[in-house]
Amino acid sequence: MDDSDKPDENTGQLKQNTFLAVLDSIDRGLGWIERTLIASSVLLMAFLMSAHVVGNLLFNRGIPGTYEITEMLIVIITFVGVGYAARHARHIRMSAFYDILNQRWRKVLLIIISVGTATLMFYFAYKSAQYDLALYARGRTSSALHIPMWVVNLALPAGFTLAGVQYVLTTIRNLASPGIYRSFREKEKYADLPLDNSGEHRCPKGPSAHNATHITD
């Protein structure tokens, strides 16, 4: 079971707020699409490569177009994975300046970053859609299997759009809910860590004991 399918302390809040409940349903649907596409691509790639190797060893002949299909699946996994990483807040974060701010200004900065990143993702989706339309107009196909390249490159605008939607959901969640959310489901918590070098490094008690705890539903 995916972590996003587990209940957490935020579930009650989502159910009490009708608007957030609708967004929660949208987020779950997008999560199912992302997981299905990524898992299917990985399994198909593993099966093809394994069958290709076995065919070469046993019959001295592999599956035609295996490497071509593998390259296409890597494109799908990469760009759909952009949305998946944003949904689970697994993207790279440069947080040196962010970490020194208090909670209020961290939340303000996170909202600004989310809005800016969402805008950038939607712009990338627009430009990649233009590129995909150009491939369709030119009728470009793959060299071995003659698969239309525009079909494969649909992963670009789709992945960027999924990522943009996730950052929009993150922005709305931070505006509508108390606390700081690094994604629609991932709540951020900071621990009161000791700053001196003389004492023992003991974990503080209470709910703040976990630094940057990931809370998923």
Domain ranges of the chain: 3-91+101-189
The secondary structure element, H or E, covering residue 18 is helix 18-59
The secondary structure element, H or E, covering residue 187 is strand 187-188
How many CA atoms, within 13 angstroms, populate the side-chain half-sphere of residue 194?
Answer: 10
Q: What is the pLDDT of the chain when averaged over all its residues?
A: 80
pLDDT tens, position by position, 69-104: 999 999 999 999 988 888 887 777 777 777 788 888
Of 28, 26, 22, the residue nearest 176 (C-alpha): 22
pLDDT tens, position by position, 9-32: 555 555 557 878 888 888 888 889
pTM of the model: 0.74
**pLDDT tier for residue 194 given thresholds of 50, 70 and 90:** very low
Side chain identity, residue 144: A
Instruction: Say what the alpha-carbon torsion angle 50, 2, 4, 95 is, to the nearest 10 degrees.
Output: -60
pLDDT for 178 equals 84
Cα Rg of the chain, angstroms? 22
CA-CA distance, 175 to 89, in Å (whole number)? Answer: 17
CA-CA distance, 187 to 121, in Å (whole number)? Answer: 22
CA-CA distance, 118 to 126, in Å (whole number)? Answer: 12
pLDDT for 206 equals 44
